[in-house]
Amino acid sequence: MPIDEAYKNLAISKLEEFGELAQQKIKNSVSELDPEDLEFGLSLSLQDQELFKLWQDCIENNNYMEVSFVEVMEHHDGAYLKATFKNSKGPYTAERYVSVRSSGRVEIAHAFLLETKGIVVRMEKEPDGSFKVFVRYK
């Protein structure tokens, strides 16, 4: 059964909402950096309550994502399934990584990616409520 277009558009608009705010916040942090530091990439920590609240709604609880990668792997502790789900619009991409182990353990992680003006940004939420941001030239 095909997905309702209105539901899909709502999910994409949430991604855009988060992306626009994140781009603005990251732009401020990156403008203070030495361009030579971005050659090999640089990790930053970003703390922002507004982004944190939007992350929950727009990235983690965004129910519409397309399957972009699925793999079944054998590991020393049994087989497991790895799947990546993706939402993207323009320079913004949200990814959800799901691993299901043969023991039944499920691990879920999220990332937000932004490509703008020759710079690639990868953003992940840390357990302490901050964001780990990796920035490098494309």
- Choose among 70, 119, 115, 75: nearest CA to 96: 70
Domain spans of the chain, in order of start = 5-137
pLDDT on residue 132: 93
Query: How far, in Å, CA of 118 to CA of 92, rounded?
Result: 14
pLDDT tens track for 22-32: 998 888 777 77
pLDDT along the chain (138 residues), means of 10: 80 94 85 77 88 92 90 86 94 95 91 90 91 89
Tell me the backbone φ, ψ of residue 77, rounded to 5 degrees.
-105, 15
What confidence score (pLDDT) does residue 72 get? 93
Q: What is d(CA 17, CA 55) in angstroms, rounded to the nearest whole number? A: 10
Look at residue 1 in the predicted model and tell me its pLDDT.
54
Q: Look at residue 4 in the predicted model and tell me its pLDDT.
A: 81
Q: Which residue has the tokens 């490509």?
A: 115
Sheet holding 78-89, edge to edge: 42-46, 131-137, 119-125, 106-116, 92-101, 78-89, 66-75
- Neighbouring residues of 64: CB distance < 8 A, sequence distance ≥ 6: 3, 7, 8, 10, 11, 12, 87
Q: What predicted TM-score, i.e. pTM, was given to this entire model?
A: 0.88
